[in-house]
Amino acid sequence: MLVLVIILIVAVPIIPGLVISRKQRGIDRRHFAAFVGYVAAVVAIASLLLLFLAAQFPYPSTARQASGFVLGIIGLIAWLVVLLAGLFSGGVQRFLLLLYGMAMAFTYLLVAAANFGS
């Protein structure tokens, strides 16, 4: 359950960033890159949360295994988009997106470690 709390703590700063970047997305390409990064961050959080919840129970069917695989791929692609958007955005949004990308890498390690020992 500690991993779930960490995922939710990482998700809290994303929502205000998404709202602010949504209003500024039309200014220039750096603001648009930040908006794309925050949308990808929401997608990454959602897929990571669903992946963590799916990993808590044994896989009785191949359909659940396949959904876990697809969620993992979606989350990794969204995480890469967050990092790239962090590189192309500017100012505080760059710092926050890159910081979020590092926090997501840490939570991916925690979710992977949550599968061991059971």
Query: pLDDT grade, residue 117 (50/70/90)?
Result: low
Query: Which range of residues forms the domain containing residue 69?
Result: 2-114
Residue 77 has what pLDDT? 94
Query: pLDDT grade, residue 118 (50/70/90)?
Result: low
d(Cα 40, Cα 56) in Å, to the nearest integer? 24
Signed CA dihedral, 32, 106, 78, 11: sign only: negative
pTM, entire model = 0.83
d(Cα 65, Cα 93) in Å, to the nearest integer? 36
Q: Determine the angle formed by the axes of helices 91-114 and 29-55, rounding to 10 degrees.
A: 10
* 39-59 pLDDT tens trace: 999 998 888 888 777 777 766
d(Cα 87, Cα 96) in Å, to the nearest integer? 11
* 59-113 pLDDT tens trace: 677 877 788 889 889 989 999 999 999 888 888 888 888 888 888 888 878 777 7
d(Cα 101, Cα 86) in Å, to the nearest integer? 8
How many folded domains does the chain comprise?
A: 1
> Do 37 and 93 touch, CB atoms closer than 8 A?
yes
> Do 49 and 39 touch, CB atoms closer than 8 A?
no
